[in-house]
Structures are given as structure tokens and as C-alpha cells.
Amino acid sequence: MAASGEQRHEIYLAGGCFWGTQEFLRHLPGVLETDVGYANTTVSNPTYEQVCSGRTAAAETVRVVYDPTVLPLPLLLEAYFASINPTNVNHQGNDVGTQYRTGIYWTDASDAAVVSESLRALQGSYAAPIAVEALPLSNYFPAEAAHQDYLVKHKNGYCHVDRGLAERFAKEHGLA
């Protein structure tokens, strides 16, 4: 149940391995809940093994529920961009494969313009083309329980995202 005055909005962000992306996002002020799963797949309810085969077209993705009055979508996207290399195609950190591509997937059509503008602005900071996929969400299947909150359960688990980034980003943007 939402707290009094709390607003809830949802977006799906793929940033390579979903463990590190989830851990980063869940520490941002205004993020209310996260879970990890597989977005825009050609296979219903795929397993991790199927996704890793490269034959499902799935992206490892984090479902993000956030309060836009605390963390507006442009600022959430700015944080997300700080956690990825937006010019890499199908890899982040040590992870390589189509499931590790970057992507922003929305369920609210009004988010498309915000995403487009954010990506346009981001391109101004890079000579190489931005490789972040931007599409409406066609489907999303939660990943297996072992992958949910993985880095909460495994404090020393692999993470391609700088573990202090969320705290630094929040302080730099007056969210802390």
C-alpha cells in the first residue's frame, strides 16, 4: 500500500547483469521497490538458462517502482546512465551477450518522450553512438527467486556497478 502522498510509477531498466543494476537502483531515494526479470522476450516465462542461450531475445531487466515526486524520471534516467557504459553493445562489465544489452522499457506512453529527450541529451556527451535500446515494454517475466535481491543475499557477489554510486549520486543531486 502506498504511503500517504506517495506516488507510484513504473519503468523497466536493463543495465547489464541485473544483480548490480538492481542493487544500485534500490539505493536511490524515491525508488520504492525493484525486482529482476526478463523483458521483451520471445519465450514465455523463460528460465535463466534459456535467456543465457541467447535464443530468447530477452534482456536482463529491473522493474523499478518509484515516486516521481521524489525522483523524477529524467533524474532516474540520469542515475541509470551513470551506472552503465551507454555505448557498449550487448555487454556491461565482464558480462557479454544479448541479454546484457542496455535498455529502457516503458509501460506509460507519456514516458517515451522523456526517454527520447534523455537519450538525445546523453548523446551530446559521447562521440560513439548511444546503444541503449528504448522501446515500449512488450512483456516482462520475473526471474527465479535465486536472482531476486541477489546482492542482498550475497554481499560479496559479483557486481559490475560501483557499489557507492547510488549514495554519491543522491548526495550530488540533493536527494540524500
Return the pLDDT at 158.
86
Q: In angstroms, rounded to a whole number, what is the distance separating the alpha carbons of residues 41 and 26? A: 24
Residue-wise pLDDT tens digits, 58-106: 999 999 999 999 999 999 999 999 999 999 999 999 999 999 999 999 9
Residue-wise pLDDT tens digits, 117-140: 999 999 999 999 999 999 999 999
Among the options 11, 13, 14, 17, which is catalytic? 17
What residues contact 103, with CB distance under 8 A and at least 6 apart? Answer: 12, 13, 14, 39, 40, 59, 61, 132, 133, 134, 135
pTM as predicted: 0.95
Domains of the chain: 9-172 (3.30.1060.10)
Catalytic residue list contains 17:
yes
